[in-house]
Amino acid sequence: MVLDNSGRNRFRDTMRSSYRRRVARLASMRYLIFFKPYNVLPSFTDPESQGRPTLAQYISAPEVYPAGRLDYDSEGLMLLTDDGQLAHRLTHPRYHLPKTYFVQVENVPTEAALTALRRGVIVKGQKTAPAEVELLTVEPDLPPRSIPIRVRATIPTAWLRMVLREGRKRQIRHMTAAVGHPTLRLVRVAIGPLTLRGLAPGEWRELEAAELAALRRALGWSDRPSARTSRRSASP
């Protein structure tokens, strides 16, 4: 059946109405980025009631929740939101959103170690997905950690830039340990198109409209209604 003009108009009006509702829903939701300091839990409460620092000591915005996690002893970018659909896509491996880390390791990895990390290593019986791994020649411009790493005069360190598209628990630490280079410091500097730009440890801000649009595109969303009219042909 082919839609007549009246049917096409109704379909177009429905699409426009749906788009307006979606825009209104997005406008009412909150999207925050936060620079999590070292030794801060990635949650608003301490599940073990040990009195450890939590997000509640830094973020006063109500009804937002972390979209994904970042280990207690890791630092860097977190996204918090009350948009459940976006949080689901952000954490689901199906969408392959890249997350970028600066990683300080013991000793200087050989090319063989770097190749192994890029191709995937065995972690707890499973091979990790291919990753982007670069040995940095210059130390990244990061704020000092609240508790400095333990430096041993006889053991040099190196910095890696790693981009992962999966998120197993403590994955980077397991990966670098598997090739003989324990992680000393780990800082997430980007989630897809979002970065730590303008943030110091412990600071947060609302996402800008352009940042949110870029993130939604990276997750496979379009905020514009389709102009295409549905047509189905049928036998006369």
CB 85 within 8 A of CB 223: no
Q: In whole angstroms, give the CA distance from residue 48 to residue 233.
A: 61
Backbone CA torsion sign across 169, 185, 182, 128:
positive
150, burial (CB in 10 Å: exposed 0-12, middle 13-18, buried 19+):
exposed
CB 197 within 8 A of CB 211: no
CB 179 within 8 A of CB 121: yes
Greatest CA separation for the chain: 85
Tokens of 62: 């109500």
DSSP assignment letter at 56: G
What is the C-alpha R_g of the chain? 22
Asked about 4 being catalytic, the answer comes back as: no
Q: In whole angstroms, give the CA distance from residue 82 to residue 80.
A: 7
The active-site residue out of 4, 13, 46, 71 is 71
**Catalytic center residues:** 71
